Amino acid sequence: MDTKLDPSRDDLPLMANTSHILVKHYVLDLDVDFESQIIEGTIVLFFESGNRFQKQSGSTKEPCRSESNEACRFRMPEPCHSPVTDTRTFSSKTRSNDFTICGKGEKDTSGKDGNHDNWEQASGISSSKYCCDTGNHGSEDFLLVLDCCDLSVLKVEEVDVAAVPGIEKLTRSPKLTVVSEELRNQIVCELVTLPADRWREQLDYYARCSQAPGCGELLFDTDTWSLQIRKTGAQTATDFPHAIRIRYSTKPQGRSVTWTSDQSGRPCVYTMGSPINNRALFPCQEPPVAMSTWQATVRAAASFVVLMSGENSAKPTQLREGCSSWHYYVTMPMPASTFTIAVGSWTEMKPETCSSNDLAAERSLSPSEADFRYVGICGHMEYPCRFQNPSATTQEIIPHRVFAPVCLKGACQETLLQLVPPCLSAAHRVLGTHPFSRLDILIVPGNFPSLGMARPNKEKTGHVSDSGSSVVKHGLNPEKVFMQVHYLKGYFLLRFLAQRLGDDTYFAFLRKFVHTFHGQLILSQDFLQMLLENIPEEKRLELSVENIFRDWLESSGIPQPLQRERQAGAECGLARQVSVEVEKWIRMNRRPRKRKRRETEQVFEKLLPDQLVLLLEHLLEQKTLNPRTLQSLERAYRLTQQDAEVRHRWCELIIKHKYTKAYKDVERFLQEDQAMGIYLYGELMVSEDSRQQQVARRCFELTKEQMDRSSAQVVAEMLF
């Protein structure tokens, strides 16, 4: 693999024209088939367009109008000549949430940054493609662009929401006599803006609308990164149908879901997010600015459990013989990339005996209409928010379930289950109100790419065009996934701030921050800005957003403040204890073999896992460690039974000192901890030791099929 960054290959385009039209709700209706490794069904999208965008919330409700005078007009590029992407011929002078008149494609400013050509290559969209099939009907049609990749789209149609019995209650007219596009859009408009206290009714209407008959197929086209839909004669986003149904199926090789097997060897499938988020699971608006709610009905064979990031703890409904259906929903608008699904033969893990305390915690606090008193100030768009519900704000432990392959039952019961309530309670203590009403925890298979997701963050992901489309820089570069520098720096920056300000000030601020910004997209700058505004002058010292950025973000290497802290850290008790142990090991390593008797008498202190990591890192600095020392080291701390961080360092020691007797530990790590194992492949290869290289190749051969795609690509590049 070429390790150089290549924008045409590495940048992830976000194509959706979110500046013109926004999805407010998705209704998914899907069948999961393990035999064919395909998920198929329909998705219904409900939109809000132009003239509603300026409205802040549903509290001051204005009648919906469908006049198109404020909306953007889609303009086709000149036939076959313009290299400019369709979605970029818009112009507007507004933020993405605003909506203004713009009829004419202005000069494209994005060419300046050199992205221009790359964009076109990456997206595959070019005007030439369009002029071939627009015929003579589409040159002025509005084009809906959805992010979509590796999906087979079979049919797109407009949904006749006016056909839903009782729906006329949403509109001002008592009876629906003349059903027009305008009326249908007016219904959707009323529906998406129902106030938060009517969320249940709204969900119900969405569900019923999603099953309404179609009223006309829409023209569509797909390319590498998008699905483009238009309706002949609908020239603006406002005229475009506000409820559409897409029938589609996923592809087995699609990059949003991984079909694999769990630790018990049974099939499962899950969304892995990285690197292309959910666009190979359903057509969506990927930019995080498109915040929407969703509900989903998912069917699978009855032996499977369907888990999703919904707000309700779904239970299966038995359909026909051997088939179950699961229904989940969310009422809090979130970016489409936060949608997750996992289907597998997992078992719900429960404590062996249920104490009365647990039962009390399990009593669910589902958001009930009456419970929402509008206390506190919420800055987000309207939804039934837990921060406004007094009983929810004091709930330390939210209802939770733990799912795992049956072979891990023992470990779950012995260790994991007891840890969840104190963790939830600690999160509540530190951060305040839990934003979600419940939690499902799933033990994912070993090939889960756990090293973070290349998520687009707000709209500052790169150049954002006027249609709302943008690029996530290097979003598709498989190696970027394994870069941890930004996580590490972020962690140490927060620690640094906590130390500088003192725990009380810092944690009080964290709670205030969460309270202020919950339900909203924020940038790191917002966090730092608010932090500095909230701390007393005398504690601020030389801190400013600018110098934090300079010291922590823009400079390479270990940030200055951290270097000072590192020196101070070496003097702390836990670290000193490790240094003493390191000295013992080094002395022992130097001792000649015949003094074995005394060596067994050497007493080593018990160390915490973090101390073990530090100890092994110090020992990694040693030029030579003989096999005898390594063997004693493993025995003294039972290294093979420690957590993955410790075992990772242990494997590094094995590789560095060519301790062949323990190669099996490396092999085990490479198979069971695949995401972390990536680094070890590099170390095995770099020494050019044929036996080590064999280990690497053998393990890759065994795991490459189930390995996540980016990992497999990176490893293959190292090995061959």
Gap between the Cα atoms of 540 and 534, Å rounded = 9
Q: Which stretch binds Zn ion (CB under 5 A): 141-149, 337-345, 379-387, 493-501?
A: 379-387
**Of 55 and 65, CB closest to Zn ion:** 55
The nearest distance, CB 528 to Zn ion, in angstroms, is 22
Binding mask 240-279 for Zn ion (x = CB under 5 A): ----------------------------------------
Nearer to Zn ion, 89 or 389 (CB): 389
Residue 641 has φ and ψ, to the nearest 5°, of: -105, 5
Q: Interacting stretch for Zn ion, rule CB under 5 A, among 186-194, 372-380, 544-552, 630-638? A: 372-380
Site string for Zn ion, 128-167 (x = CB under 5 A): ----------------------------------------
- State the nearest-atom distance from the C-beta of 441 to Zn ion, in Å: 25
| Radius of gyration, alpha carbons of the chain | 28
- Here the contacts of 57-62 (C-beta below 8 Å, separation 24 or greater) are 57/381, 57/382, 58/193, 58/194, 58/195, 58/196, 58/382, 59/195, 59/382, 61/193, 61/195
Read off the DSSP letter of residue 666. Answer: H
The b-or-e profile of 210-245 (16+ CB within 10 A means b, else e) is bebebbeebbbbbbebbbbbbbeebbbbbbbbbbbb
Cβ proximity to Zn ion, 57 vs 622, nearer residue: 57
- Of the residues 372, 387, 552, 637, which one makes contact with Zn ion according to CB under 5 A: 387
Question: Rounded to the nearest whole angstrom, what is the least distance from the CB of residue 382 to Zn ion in the complex?
Answer: 9
Nearer to Zn ion, 16 or 392 (CB): 392
CB of 384 to Zn ion, least distance (A): 9
Q: What are the contacts of 384-388 at 24+ separation with CB within 8 A?
A: 384/196, 384/197, 384/199, 384/331, 384/332, 385/196, 385/332, 385/518, 385/519, 386/433, 386/434, 386/435, 386/436, 386/437, 387/433, 387/435, 387/515, 387/518
CA–CA separation, 248 and 578 (whole Å)? 58
Report if residue 199 touches Zn ion, rule: CB under 5 A.
no
Q: What are 513's two structure tokens?
A: 């921050």
Nearer to Zn ion, 378 or 397 (CB): 378
Which of the ranges 306-314, 373-381, 598-606, 668-676 carries the binding residues for Zn ion, by CB under 5 A? 373-381
Query: What is the DSSP code (8-state) at residue 284?
Result: B
3-class secondary structure for 133-156?
HCCCCCCCCCCEEEECCCEEEEEE
Mark the segment that binds Zn ion (CB under 5 A) among 192-200, 383-391, 665-673, 682-690: 383-391
In the complex with Zn ion, which residue's Cβ is closer, 115 or 395?
395
Residue 284's closest CA among 151, 156, 192, 147? 147
**Residue 387 vs 552, nearer CB to Zn ion:** 387
SS3 394: coil
CB of 368 to Zn ion, least distance (A): 16
- Comparing CB distances to Zn ion, the nearer of 14 and 398 is 398
Using CB under 5 A as the binding criterion, the count of chain residues that bind Zn ion stands at: 3
Q: Which residues of 360-380 are buried (b: 16+ CB within 10 A; e: fewer)?
A: ebeeebebeeebbeeeeebeb
Partners of 330 in the β-ladder: 294
- Cβ of residue 434: shortest distance to Zn ion, in angstroms? 12
| CB 378, min distance to Zn ion, A | 3
Contact indicator for 467, 142 with CB cutoff of 8 Å: no
Smallest gap from Cβ 223 to Zn ion, in A, equals 39
Contact with Zn ion (CB under 5 A): which of 21, 385, 442, 684? 385
Q: Which is nearer to Zn ion, 378 or 666 (CB)?
A: 378
Q: Identify which of residues 388 and 611 has a Cβ nearer to Zn ion in the complex.
A: 388
Q: How near is the Cβ of 5 to Zn ion at its closest, in Å? A: 39
- How far apart are the C-alpha atoms of 438 and 643, rounded to whole Å? 28
Among 71, 243, 296, 378, binds Zn ion (CB under 5 A): 378
Q: Minimum Å distance from CB 275 to Zn ion? A: 31
Query: What is the pairing mode between strands 291-301 and 21-33?
Result: parallel
Helix residue ranges per DSSP H, 570-689: 573-590, 596-601, 609-620, 627-637, 644-656, 663-672, 674-686
Judge whether 243 and 32 are in contact, CB under 8 Å: no
**Stretch of 30-38, 380-388, 526-534, 694-702 contacting Zn ion, by CB under 5 A:** 380-388
Shortest distance in whole angstroms from residue 74 CB to Zn ion: 35
Nearest CB to Zn ion, comparing residues 374 and 491: 374
Q: Which is nearer to Zn ion, 226 or 389 (CB)?
A: 389
Rounded least distance, CB 331 to Zn ion, Å: 12
Span interacting with Zn ion, options 219-227, 281-289, 371-379, 694-702, rule CB under 5 A: 371-379
CA dihedral 457→463→467→469, nearest 10 degrees, is -50
Binding residues (CB under 5 A) for Zn ion: these are: 378, 385, 387
